C-alpha cells in the first residue's frame, strides 16, 4: 500500500516475481503509452504519482544486470535512497496497491516455419506479439550470458556473421513496446541489401 511496504517486499519476494514484473510487463501492457517499461515504474507513476522515482525505475534495464539478484539490489537501493529524501512515506490510494505476482510461460508451436530470410521478415510482420516477445525478449533469458534473440541465432547459424543479426543485437529493445519493436525489426530486414539478407 505504500513505498516502504513495497521496498520490504522487493527485498524478499522470489526471483520469479521480479522476473514477472521486470521482463513480462511488455507482454501485458502492449497497448499503453510506453513511458514505463516495467510494472514497478508504472505503479510508482500511476498509484503514488511520484514521477521522479518512476523515471529512475523506468531507466532500469534488467537485461543489463548480471542476474535478478543484482536487479533486486539496484531497485532496493533506488527506492531506499528515494525514501530517505522524502518527508513522509508515499501511500497508494485504496484499490491501487501493488500486487506482487508471478507467471508461468507456455510456449506453443504456431505452425509457422521459415526457410528464407524473406520468410522470416514476413512472419515477424504478422506473428502475434506474444510470439515476438518469446523469440526476442525471453530468448535472452534462457541461458547464462546469452544475449541473443532467436532470430539472430537462426540467421547466424544459417549465414554466419550478417548485417541483420548485428543490427538486431544493437536494438535497445527493452524500451520499446512490442508493436514498436516489431516495426524496428521489420525495418532492419528491409534496410539490408538483398545480398546481405540471404
- The partner residues of 91 in beta bridges, in order of sequence, read 2
The predicted structure's pLDDT at residue 198: 43
Q: What is the rounded CA–CA span in Å between residue 84 and residue 9?
A: 17
Which residues lie below 8 Å from residue 132, measured CB to CB, with a gap of 6+? 124, 178, 181, 182, 185
pLDDT in tens, 159-172: 898 999 999 999 98
- For 142, other C-beta atoms within 10 Å of its C-beta total 9
The predicted structure's pLDDT at residue 192: 83
The predicted structure's pLDDT at residue 194: 44
The predicted structure's pLDDT at residue 36: 84
- How high does pLDDT run on average in the chain? 89
CA angle 164, 167, 173 (to 5 degrees): 120
CA dihedral 106, 109, 112, 117 (to 10 degrees): 70
**Grid cell of 13 as nine digits:** 519476494
Q: What is the DSSP string of 141-161?
A: GSSTT----HHHHHHHHHHSS
Query: How confident is the model over 17-29, as a mean pLDDT?
Result: 86
| Share in percent of the chain as helix, strand, coil (round to 5) | 60, 0, 40
Query: How confident is the model over 117-135, as a mean pLDDT?
Result: 94
Query: How confident is the model over 155-162, as a mean pLDDT?
Result: 91
Greater model confidence, 174 or 75? 75
Confidence tier at 34 by pLDDT (50, 70, 90): low
pLDDT in tens, 87-118: 999 999 999 999 999 988 888 898 889 999 99
The predicted structure's pLDDT at residue 165: 92
- For 157, other C-beta atoms within 10 Å of its C-beta total 9
The predicted structure's pLDDT at residue 142: 78
pLDDT in tens, 39-71: 999 999 999 999 999 999 999 988 887 688 999
Amino acid at each position: 500500500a505504500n513505498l516502504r511496504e513495497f521496498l520490504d517486499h522487493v527485498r524478499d519476494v522470489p526471483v520469479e516475481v521480479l522476473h514477472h514484473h521486470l521482463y513480462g510487463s511488455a507482454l501485458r501492457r502492449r497497448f499503453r503509452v510506453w513511458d514505463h517499461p516495467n510494472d514497478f515504474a508504472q505503479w510508482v507513476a500511476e498509484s503514488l504519482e511520484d514521477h521522479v522515482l518512476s523515471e529512475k525505475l523506468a531507466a532500469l534495464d534488467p537485461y543489463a544486470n548480471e542476474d535478478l539478484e543484482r536487479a533486486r539490489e539496484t531497485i532496493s537501493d533506488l527506492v531506499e535512497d528515494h525514501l530517505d529524501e522524502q518527508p513522509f512515506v508515499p501511500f497508494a490510494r485504496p484499490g491501487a496497491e501493488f500486487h506482487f505476482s508471478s507467471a508461468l510461460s507456455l510456449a506453443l508451436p504456431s505452425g509457422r516455419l521459415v526457410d528464407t530470410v524473406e520468410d522470416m521478415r514476413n512472419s515477424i510482420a504478422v506473428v502475434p506479439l506474444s510470439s515476438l516477445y518469446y523469440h526476442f525478449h525471453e530468448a535472452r533469458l534462457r541461458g547464462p550470458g546469452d544475449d541473443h534473440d532467436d532470430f539472430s541465432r537462426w540467421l547466424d547459424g544459417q549465414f554466419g556473421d550478417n548485417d541483420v543479426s548485428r543490427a538486431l543485437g544493437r536494438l535497445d529493445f527493452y524500451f520499446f513496446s512490442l508493436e514498436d519493436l516489431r516495426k524496428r525489426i521489420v525495418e532492419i530486414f528491409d534496410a539490408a541489401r538483398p545480398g546481405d539478407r540471404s
